Structure 1
Amino acid sequence: MGFLYIIVFITMISSFSLSQAYAEPIVLDDDFIIKKFASGFEAPTTMNFIGDDILILEKNIGKVIRIQDNGILYDEPVLDVPVVASWESGLLGISSVSNHVFLYFKESDSGSDLEYYDDRANYETGRNKIYQYDWDGEKLANPVLIKELPGHLSCCHHGGVIAKGLNNEIYFVIGDQFQRTTFQNIANEATYETGAIFKVNTDEENRVELFAMGIRNSFGLAVDPVTGYLWDTENGPDCCDEVNLVSPGFNSGWRAIMGPSDRDSLSKEVPEWADLSTLNPKPFENFVYSDPEFSWNGVVGPTAIAFPDEDSFRKYSDWLFVGDFHNGRIYNFQLNADRTGFVFSNPELSDLVLDIDDEKDEILFAEGFQGVSDIKFHDGAMYVVSFGDGSIYKIYPKESLSPLEQYQNGVTHQEIVCDPELMPIMKNTGYIDCVHPKTALTLISTLDGTVNHPEMPKIELRFQDLSGLNFEYVNLSNSDFTGSNFDDAKISNVDFTNANLSRTDLSGKDLTGTILKGADLTGTNLTGVDLSGKDLTDTTLTGADLSDKDLTGTILKGADLSYSNLSGIDLSHTDLTETILLDVDFTNAIVPDVYLSGKNFNNAIFNGVDLSGKDLSSSKFQKEASFDNANLENVNLSKAELIEVDFTNIKNKSLAGADLSGASLRYSNLSGVDLSGVILDATDFWKADLSGQDSTIIYDINTLFYHLKNLIQKLF
């Protein structure tokens, strides 16, 4: 449904104030407050910060309005462009790179603003265009056309939002405008560039490339400031609004599917969605579909999506925010460890769908806006554009009470909260004080202060400057140091049990005697760190580069090594019991003789690894698992899943003597591979490439599976 029905509603009742129908917005987190920052806009869509000033877009009149940092509007717009404004077209998107500002709008061919809400024939006037302008500190000038897109096909689904990436690339989205072409997963000779996300490479003279397709309509794009991943929101028709992680070559699925593929109760509402065989028509064969990271079983009209990158929102540093138009809400979603999906404490949300009767308090941050159209973070605050009342709201942290005032109000010592840049310390008087970390360490050594007292609050030192501090022999277990700076800090003999050290730089650190058991080292720089002999039981090392490290005596039992680089490592005597090894690079590593069975090795790289005689039974190697120049002779792969694996580059091109009994090699390439002496009892070769193989070895097995497959399809 998108903005359409809400905008119709706003247009019909514009003769009286919407404040009669809406209460004032509220923030549901008691640590934050909200105030109206600026108002008086007619139809504000999106905004962008230029220095401390805001540039905000007026959808229907084509004006770019400048707002001072105190919320006062400048007298004159910085730009006025001729737009065609229908239900969902007009001046829609803005972003900036250096002194260049990018705008997305439907440009009027007549040179003056046009508004159409009734005569459908007039929608054919104008095209959607992306321009680059120069910002001189006062005005936008020197327009350069970057891309022209259809704008004449429909009143609605024009998309229009723009986002900047970490490398100054620009992303923008256009909706499907109700078309049914290859961009919508329908084979058709008529092809319009609609329902797609494009990327502008600003470092390559603004070269434009297609980034994603199969999108119904979107009012939200954002880039994760930590990973650089692109995310979007997408509007469904009568159900299944979405939040998506958008990888290069992403197929969002429309019109073949909307919402998660396993929710038949949703897809049956529109029979057309049920057929996924229409995905990826030419020329999009290499675009990849994946289910949304979150969906609504209903229509909320998700719009803006934003990641906090401000100190004042540190408690939400691993979250993203999404606004909706229909209910005027802002949702908050907690990201998982690798920031590719969400985690919830409410089991009702574990299916990644908010059903109508599900409890939603966990994911609600604010509500009461008259249609959220944009969210941006700047200077310690969240700024929200409320479309219906033409206002911008500012959300920022409350000033916290002093520790003494908190204590006098009945707060226990352990529950006292410090401002984000401070840490608690118990003075020798027995009272808690909130001080800067460097002050705290000084007090510990000179004034008999302590951070180890049983009544101490939990220490949180996220994103702190801890450079030069001496933490030796301090118990900092269960503390949160996410993103903190440890330059020149001494951390030997520190107890970091279950501490969060993710995204820190520990390169070259002396960790003698330091305890890291259960610690979170996701994305941590461990270059030059000696981990030999360390007990890393249950430690999270997601994405860690451990290549060529000496792990002699290191205990990795239960550790999460997903996406890590273990190339060149000698793991021959390492305990990998319950260790997570998804997507690991084992290139030229020496793996142990045990602990390898029953593992999930999906997408893992075993190039150059000697796996001969190893027990890999019941393990999974789906998708892009690689075995180039790996020795697989006499390996035990019984009951293993080896889906879409290419065996043609294994060492000596030989699986001789391997045990493949009960294994699944569906869609795998065994062309010309030596299968002499291989155990093939009940091996599944469904649609595997067996060219050049001895048919007497595998013919009966394949025939059996072929007939069984046909029989099952006929029965069901």
Structure 2
Amino acid sequence: MDRTKAARSAPGAGTSSTYLEAPRRNRGSSVRSTAPRRTGAVMSFTLHATTARRPGPGAHRPARGGLAAQLAALVVASLAAALVAWPPVPARAAIGARRVAGGLDRPVAFTFDPRGRIWYLEKDTGEVRILRPGAGDRRFFLVPGVNGEGERGTLGIALHPRYPDRPFIYVYATREVGGGLRNQILRLTDLGGRGGRMRVLFSAPASSSPYHNGGRILFGLDGMLYAVIGDAHDPANAQQLGDRRGKVLRMTPSGGVPPDNPLGDRLAYAFGIRNSFGLAFDPRTGALWETENGPECNDELNLILPGENYGWGPSETCAGEGPANTNRDGSSPELPVLWWEVPVAPTGIAFCDGCRLGARSEGALFFGAANTGDVRRVVLNAARDGAIGQRVVYSHPNPVLSVEVGPDGRIYFSDFGGIFALVRRSEPGRTGRPGLRRMTGVHGPRVGVR
């Protein structure tokens, strides 16, 4: 998340300021970047929305009718977003948070196993740890040579979809290897409760600056391992198909190239990516969604389509009209579903599918916003390839890092010191700040068709 004038004139360059560097919100000039605009006496944020060209990979494709029907639906969605998506702020928030575990050391990524245990990473130490809520945690494995400066560190974790029958744990980490820095995907083996047999499945050079490393990994319903890797602080990498940086990657569980990858004999699944902290599959469609951090503008929520270009590259600038000003490299780049002119630093993503947060939340996309320290809910359209509104549903005192779905269907998130579950306010054990901040529609939303 670059916040310097140098980054404005040359995206991806300059000195970055990132939420991963210190356990506090609104670092440096981020305070200015995230300040809401004022229109008269009304505070407002700008919400921008577009619709995707088609569903994501493996999606169920519902019948959509003719062009006239689609346009009519768009008009209805636009009016609904403009007129009813932002009602007055209620006296009490409907959603709070319950602390599951505290006293942790920067649990930047976590996941669950079938027994309900939480596997989490300590960003700076390289430790992979197993947490049993209410019963403490222990070290599973120490990844050697981890460099935790800035956005480096142990950054992503996933379990094999057939764990524990296939006892493999996958970790994305920035490591010091042979006198240089590498971003790597490692496979560990669970040897009776302890990790061992570390194998490197993927390795790419990390930037000499500690930024734009990406790091989220997860398995798809197709059994393939997906990962997002940042541009290593060089926008040109994102447009070069021969370079694995600035990409969403897709590989077999053993690190090979799947024969049906969309860009030939490459791990690349999509390209033109700047820096991402969130990946998630929509359980209703199989589509892959991604959050992306912009320079001084245009943080994004993207629907990732196989083989597509998401436009980040050397010619990007915050000058001009968004979101095309930061999505214009290459031929016909995809535009984001949502973007924010004032950066919010979106992080992890999760979908509500029985999350016990009420009817309005069912089927919605939730993501963390590090700059503002909150969890937001995005309502998707009927085709689930676009957004019709968003709101802040929970305000947290610290940056929100990873957001995941637990085996109980609840949505969980982490900050620099703990892991929390989102709950309805009627449930016991709530923590965090009360109140609710909504996005008001004074400046929009602007709904675009592409």
What TM-score do the two structures reach when normalised by structure 2?
0.67
Map residues 178-189 of structure 1 onto 2, 5 A cutoff: 178-181=233-236, 183-185=237-239
Which of residues 90, 100, 106 is equivalent to 2:153? 90
Confirm or deny that 1:200 pairs with 2:228: no
**Structure 1 residues 59-86: Cα deviation after superposition (integer angstroms, max 9, x where no partner):** 110001111032x432434444330122
Between the aligned partners of 2:269 and 2:219, the Cα distance in structure 1 is: 14
Number of matched residues? 339
Between the aligned partners of 1:275 and 1:75, the Cα distance in structure 2 is: 44
Q: Aligned-pair distance for 1:40?
A: 1.6
Which of residues 49, 53, 62 is equivalent to 2:117? 53
Q: Is the 8 A contact 2:250 2:257 kept in 1?
A: no
Map residues 151-550 of structure 1 onto 2, 5 A cutoff: 151-181=206-236, 183-185=237-239, 192-202=243-253, 207=258, 209-255=267-313, 256-257=315-316, 264-266=320-322, 273=325, 276=328, 278-280=329-331, 289-310=333-354, 312-313=356-357, 315=359, 316-344=361-389, 363-378=391-406, 379-387=408-416, 390-397=417-424
Q: Aligned-pair distance for 1:257?
A: 4.6
Q: Is the 8 A contact 2:244 2:268 kept in 1?
A: no
**Structure 1 residues 342-378: Cα deviation after superposition (integer angstroms, max 9, x where no partner):** 113xxxxxxxxxxxxxxxxx51111124111101121
Q: Is the 8 A contact 2:310 2:327 kept in 1?
A: no
Q: Is the 8 A contact 1:150 1:192 kept in 2?
A: no
Could you say what the CA RMSD is over the residues aligned between the two structures, in angstroms? 3.4
Between the aligned partners of 2:425 and 2:344, the Cα distance in structure 1 is: 29
- Structure 1 runs not aligned, ≥5 long: 15-26, 111-123, 281-287, 345-361, 401-622, 624-716
Q: Is the 8 A contact 1:327 1:371 kept in 2?
A: yes
Q: Is the 8 A contact 1:92 1:160 kept in 2?
A: yes
Partner residue, 2:201: 146
Between the aligned partners of 2:289 and 2:23, the Cα distance in structure 1 is: 29
Q: Is the 8 A contact 2:23 2:398 kept in 1?
A: no
**Matched residue SS, 2:19:** helix
Q: Is the 8 A contact 2:348 2:401 kept in 1?
A: yes
Q: Aligned-pair distance for 1:29?
A: 7.6
**Matched residue SS, 1:41:** coil
Q: Is the 8 A contact 2:310 2:333 kept in 1?
A: yes
Partner residue, 1:38: 101
Q: Is the 8 A contact 2:327 2:335 kept in 1?
A: no
**Matched residue SS, 1:251:** coil
Between the aligned partners of 1:368 and 1:37, the Cα distance in structure 2 is: 15
**Matched residue SS, 1:84:** coil
Of structures 1 and 2, the one with the larger relative CO (CA 8 A, separation 6+) is 2
Partner residue, 2:84: none
Larger Rg: 1
**Matched residue SS, 2:401:** strand
Partner residue, 2:447: none
Letter in 2 for 1:244: N
Between the aligned partners of 2:345 and 2:369, the Cα distance in structure 1 is: 5
The structure where strand makes up a greater share of residues is 2
Q: Is the 8 A contact 2:184 2:201 kept in 1?
A: yes
Between the aligned partners of 1:11 and 1:369, the Cα distance in structure 2 is: 9
Q: Is the 8 A contact 1:310 1:377 kept in 2?
A: no
Q: How has the CA–CA distance of structure 1 residues 336 and 125 changed in structure 2, closer, same or farther, with 3 Å as cutoff? A: same
Q: Aligned-pair distance for 1:206?
A: 6.6
Between the aligned partners of 1:393 and 1:199, the Cα distance in structure 2 is: 30
Q: How has the CA–CA distance of structure 1 residues 142 and 68 changed in structure 2, closer, same or farther, with 3 Å as cutoff? A: same
**Matched residue SS, 1:323:** strand
Q: How has the CA–CA distance of structure 1 residues 314 and 226 changed in structure 2, closer, same or farther, with 3 Å as cutoff? A: farther
Letter in 2 for 1:170: L
Q: Is the 8 A contact 2:172 2:217 kept in 1?
A: yes
Q: Is the 8 A contact 1:218 1:235 kept in 2?
A: yes
Letter in 2 for 1:201: T
Partner residue, 1:102: 170
Q: Aligned-pair distance for 1:130?
A: 0.5
Q: Is the 8 A contact 2:25 2:371 kept in 1?
A: no
Q: How has the CA–CA distance of structure 1 residues 307 and 215 changed in structure 2, closer, same or farther, with 3 Å as cutoff? A: same
Q: How has the CA–CA distance of structure 1 residues 160 and 213 changed in structure 2, closer, same or farther, with 3 Å as cutoff? A: same
**Matched residue SS, 1:332:** strand
**Matched residue SS, 2:296:** coil
Q: Is the 8 A contact 2:350 2:411 kept in 1?
A: no
**Structure 1 residues 475-526: Cα deviation after superposition (integer angstroms, max 9, x where no partner):** xxxxxxxxxxxxxxxxxxxxxxxxxxxxxxxxxxxxxxxxxxxxxxxxxxxx
**Matched residue SS, 2:267:** strand
**Structure 1 residues 110-147: Cα deviation after superposition (integer angstroms, max 9, x where no partner):** 7xxxxxxxxxxxxx732111012223451222222211
Q: How has the CA–CA distance of structure 1 residues 210 and 31 changed in structure 2, closer, same or farther, with 3 Å as cutoff? A: same
Letter in 1 for 2:218: A
Confirm or deny that 1:69 pairs with 2:133: yes
Between the aligned partners of 1:13 and 1:240, the Cα distance in structure 2 is: 17
Between the aligned partners of 2:21 and 2:122, the Cα distance in structure 1 is: 17
Map residues 519-668 of structure 1 onto 2, 5 A cutoff: none
Between the aligned partners of 2:391 and 2:355, the Cα distance in structure 1 is: 21
Q: How has the CA–CA distance of structure 1 residues 132 and 7 changed in structure 2, closer, same or farther, with 3 Å as cutoff? A: closer
**Matched residue SS, 1:184:** helix
The structure where helix makes up a greater share of residues is 1
Q: Aligned-pair distance for 1:386?
A: 0.8
Letter in 2 for 1:89: R
Q: Aligned-pair distance for 1:11?
A: 8.6
Q: Is the 8 A contact 1:28 1:366 kept in 2?
A: no
Letter in 2 for 1:6: Y
Confirm or deny that 1:6 pairs with 2:19: yes
Q: How has the CA–CA distance of structure 1 residues 274 and 299 changed in structure 2, closer, same or farther, with 3 Å as cutoff? A: closer
- Structure 2 runs not aligned, ≥5 long: 3-15, 28-89, 259-265, 428-449
Q: Is the 8 A contact 1:179 1:194 kept in 2?
A: no
Between the aligned partners of 2:303 and 2:252, the Cα distance in structure 1 is: 20
Between the aligned partners of 1:109 and 1:161, the Cα distance in structure 2 is: 21
Q: Is the 8 A contact 1:199 1:210 kept in 2?
A: yes
